Structure 1
Amino acid sequence: MRLISRMIAALIVLLLIIVAGGAIGLSLYPPELLKVGDGYAAKIVCSNTFVAKRDPDKVLEEDVQAPGNPALKLIRVSVDRDEGVVTARFLGLFAPNYALYRGALGCTAVPDGDLQAARSAVFLNKIKAPKSDALWPDGDAVNVGQGEQGAKLANIVTNPDLAGPAMRAVVVVKDGHIVAENYGDGFSKATPLIGWSMTKTVNAAIIGRLMMAGRMSFDDQNLLPQWSADERRNIKLSDLLAMESGLVFNESYGSVSDVTRMLYLEPDTTSVAAGARQVAAPGERFSYSSGTATLLSRLWMNRLPNLSAAVSYPREALFGPLGMYSAVLEADERGTFVGSSYLYANARDWARFGQFLLQDGVWNGHRLLPEGFVGAMRTPTKASEGVYSQVQAWLAGPGGSNAQYGLPADTFWMSGHDGQTVAIVPSANLVVVRMGLTPAWADYRPQILLKRIMDVIKPASS
């Protein structure tokens, strides 16, 4: 999600046009790009205000108008807490974009401005997380920093060079227990944090739950009605999961592209990818696509009796059984979960999900994912040249292979924009969560953090 950094140049150009050319210059500039920027600001401020319980002014400054993004300082944001509405407007002058808080469903972008329709589209009751003094993951208690190893791990996760710039959370799970953790200023074990594209892996696990129930299969075809009359009817569910459908989708964040249109301009986030042309045979070409992940949300939701059942399903089938009580999977204006990007959960709950995958989809002795499903998450595809798996996970960390950093070959990754990662190392019985606001240009590599942790918990001489 490199939306912000790649919009800077264009927005600065706009500012110069405003100053130099006035209304004539503005007529030459695409207003949709302004609305993308507004939509991004409204959505980020909304979710962090109402879901993460952070101060909206601080969110605007730190998350939207971050250093290196001076043009975004021209966006003005207002928060109506009574109505749950966030309005963002470039320079406070142009047509605004909106985001709406919908309780247990978090926030949604409302690009068409129809707040009433967005309110009535979906509803999910809130639940109160039960408190428990049991050790994590069964409860909230942890026992970290024990002995020499604990002290070494504490030094690693609190080392700013290893945890990385703008770190918000690091959690280390060894043998099923949290053995080290650290949180950035203003964040805590309770703060829900956005996973961005790590959401894709969780969305895939929801499909795995439906497979377990016999409602979906890797071999499913003829997936959408609008595909039935052309070659797209031959696309299998497995092709979408592996990002090898052959559908065109522009994942660039530097303009009004497919992905920015999907997230910030379309009330129905599935419309862009569902209408995409197919330019390669299924399985022939790897093409990373957030549109594909949101289509997957629509597909699994279609397998449930109605929208109400579909909206409740992630909590009932996955988050509840795992004890991920902080998890908020957000939906678009029409009610489709944005399975590409918008899952908020605290770092300990992201660690619970990583531990779930480490345990091959088994939790408290109960198999929740089909046998072989997590194995497919760990199996590289030929079309991706071995970096992506058959099921919405990565076989390499950001910017480098496992071997390059001396990591075990069985390490696999969940990875999201701005430095979100969950590393899962089955051979070491280890999960490491790292969350932050660390843009790609910072060149942070979580593999280095993971390697240092592994040197402590599994030294080379052992």
Structure 2
Amino acid sequence: MKKRKLLLGIVLVGIITAAYFNYPKLNLISGYASKNMASSVFIADRDADDITLNDNNMPLIKLADSEVLEENKSATATVYGLMPRTAVFKEGLGTVLINKEFSKHNFDIVPNRFKVQDSLPFPYGNNGVVDTVLENVAYDKLEVAFENAFKDPEQKTRSLLVVHKNQIIGERYIRGFSKDTKILGWSMTKSILSTLYGILEYKGAIKMDYKPFSQEIRMKKPKNGITLNHLLRMQSGLEWDENYFKISDVTRMLFLDSDMTLTQLNKNVIAQPTEVWNYSSGTTNLLSGILRDQFATHQEYLDFPYKELIDKIGMNSMLLETDLSGNYILSSYGWATTRDWAKFGLLYLNKGDWNGKRIFSETWSNYVAKPTINSNGSYGAHFWLNAEGKYEDIPTDLYSVNGFQGQRIFIIPSKDLVVVRTGLEEQTDEQFNTLLKEIIASIR
């Protein structure tokens, strides 16, 4: 009897201990589930049951139950009835997670859009595609590459699009997705942020050696030497923990903070600039805050990405989400169709020229594709690289726009090629190498 009571006591203590250490995680789990549900329903116009079955069916997140309320465009998630979190969709701004500070914020100021109706086909317009057969493309070999990309359900590829010589030569979607489906780019959005700085530089409004903290009296002196270049290359030396599997800097920022531009700003300096390379979503949102400071009004800040980049190159499907304080969450939350993501890749393939209009300087594409010190040749300025042959069968001039769960825009200048892959499962370097190798083999 005593042994049974002792065993029961040990089990009870174990349960209480587990609950104590894991209860705070429920906030993040229900936060992710509700945010992802609301954004997928009200931005991408997808079915809630499909999101539950697929997008939210991942470790820990699948523990959450989500309910969508169409009347107020929101989604609420709980974990076994505990820790309810609600995300609300705001037109033009995306979805925000409600917290105790929600009532302090208003959502009256929204971005103006600058969409232009035209009769041009892809990529310079949205009136269909060019249907010309390119003589140097072996379409039968390209079809094999597409078949291999979609045949394994475990890879969970959702769309694949290949552009050669500014023309779509291959395009496919799984059931439930189409050329009109907006897809979350996750960290692909980081490259949008980088491009906005490239545009400002081209306009002469900012330089990469600008030190955003040099005039901040409240900033500790070690931060004064940090430049935009250091931040764009993730080598500022600011402390950051990018771990999505625990309560960390990045999960607190995305699912708890009202102003995501401050999260890394308030971190300590752990190294001098360039001494370490440390991938950080906090850095990107810090840069979003610095970007906001370049404009006299909040309206100008909200309009800038659409006026000078997104709508200017016809990425009309794109929506950038904001936090509760009205800052663009450029670390993670950009939505666009597969074709519009491809347009972004083509802008870089064409070195900033868009059908005769210059968006950023020709040298900017070289800048973002220049390897960053201590990144092992894998990172430039908010772009990923193949400088040291990570994809062993692919040209080393490849650079890419990468996001969670295998979202990719591959830009290969030497092959005049842009490849967009979206999905629900991260791919290995070997899998991406095989995909790109098969696509390249189809081009003579």
SS at match of 2:155: coil
Name the TM-score, length of structure 1 as normaliser. Answer: 0.87
User: 2:165 is matched with which residue: 175, 178, 194?
Assistant: 175
Pair 1:411 & 2:398 matched? yes
The residue identity in structure 2 corresponding to 1:454 is I
Pair 1:47 & 2:39 matched? yes
Cα contact 1:103–1:126 (8 A) shared by 2: no
SS at match of 1:336: coil
Gap runs ≥5 in structure 1 = 1-16
SS at match of 1:108: strand
SS at match of 2:31: helix
Structure index of larger Rg = 2
Give the Cα separation in 2 of the matches to 1:126 and 1:116.
Answer: 27
The residue identity in structure 1 corresponding to 2:347 is F
Shift of 1:230: 1.5
Aligned-residue Cα RMSD (Å) equals: 2.6
330-339 or 98-107: bigger deviation: 98-107
Q: Indicate the residue corresponding to 1:76 in structure 2.
A: 65
SS at match of 2:210: coil
User: 2:325 is matched with which residue: 314, 329, 334?
Assistant: 334
The structure-2 alpha-carbon separation of the partners of 1:311 and 1:50, relative to structure 1 and needing over 3 Å to count, comes to same
The structure-2 alpha-carbon separation of the partners of 1:46 and 1:403, relative to structure 1 and needing over 3 Å to count, comes to closer
User: 1:88 is matched with which residue: 50, 63, 77?
Assistant: 77
Q: Indicate the residue corresponding to 1:9 in structure 2.
A: none
Pair 1:242 & 2:233 matched? yes
362-371 or 152-161: bigger deviation: 152-161
User: 2:436 is matched with which residue: 437, 442, 450?
Assistant: 450
Shift of 1:75: 1.0
User: 2:414 is matched with which residue: 427, 438, 457?
Assistant: 427
User: 1:278 is matched with which residue: 263, 269, 280?
Assistant: 269
115-124 or 268-277: bigger deviation: 115-124
Give the Cα separation in 2 of the matches to 1:121 and 1:295.
Answer: 23
The residue identity in structure 2 corresponding to 1:447 is N
Shift of 1:352: 0.1
Q: Indicate the residue corresponding to 2:351 in structure 1.
A: 360
**What is the aligned length?**
431
Shift of 1:126: 6.3
Give the Cα separation in 2 of the matches to 1:345 and 1:425.
Answer: 21
The structure-2 alpha-carbon separation of the partners of 1:97 and 1:152, relative to structure 1 and needing over 3 Å to count, comes to same
SS at match of 1:405: coil
Render the CA deviation track for 1:87-139: whole Å, top value 9, x for unaligned: 111112x23122121112221223x1444444436423567774646343323
SS at match of 2:311: helix
Give the Cα separation in 1 of the matches to 2:409 and 2:152.
Answer: 15
Give the Cα separation in 2 of the matches to 1:26 and 1:164.
Answer: 32
Q: Indicate the residue corresponding to 1:303 in structure 2.
A: 294
Give the Cα separation in 1 of the matches to 2:47 and 2:216.
Answer: 44
User: 1:261 is matched with which residue: 219, 228, 252?
Assistant: 252
Shift of 1:173: 0.5
Cα contact 2:185–2:403 (8 A) shared by 1: yes
Give the Cα separation in 2 of the matches to 1:163 and 1:303.
Answer: 46
Cα contact 1:394–1:412 (8 A) shared by 2: yes
Q: Indicate the residue corresponding to 2:205 in structure 1.
A: 215
215-224 or 75-84: bigger deviation: 215-224
Cα contact 2:120–2:126 (8 A) shared by 1: yes
User: 1:150 is matched with which residue: 139, 144, 153?
Assistant: 139
Give the Cα separation in 2 of the matches to 1:216 and 1:168.
Answer: 38
The residue identity in structure 2 corresponding to 1:354 is G
Gap runs ≥5 in structure 2 = 1-8
Shift of 1:48: 0.5
The residue identity in structure 1 corresponding to 2:186 is W
Q: Indicate the residue corresponding to 2:195 in structure 1.
A: 205
Cα contact 2:181–2:337 (8 A) shared by 1: yes
The structure-2 alpha-carbon separation of the partners of 1:127 and 1:80, relative to structure 1 and needing over 3 Å to count, comes to farther
Give the Cα separation in 2 of the matches to 1:221 and 1:282.
Answer: 12
Q: Indicate the residue corresponding to 1:97 in structure 2.
A: 85
The residue identity in structure 2 corresponding to 1:365 is G
The structure-2 alpha-carbon separation of the partners of 1:385 and 1:346, relative to structure 1 and needing over 3 Å to count, comes to same
Name the TM-score, length of structure 2 as normaliser. Answer: 0.90
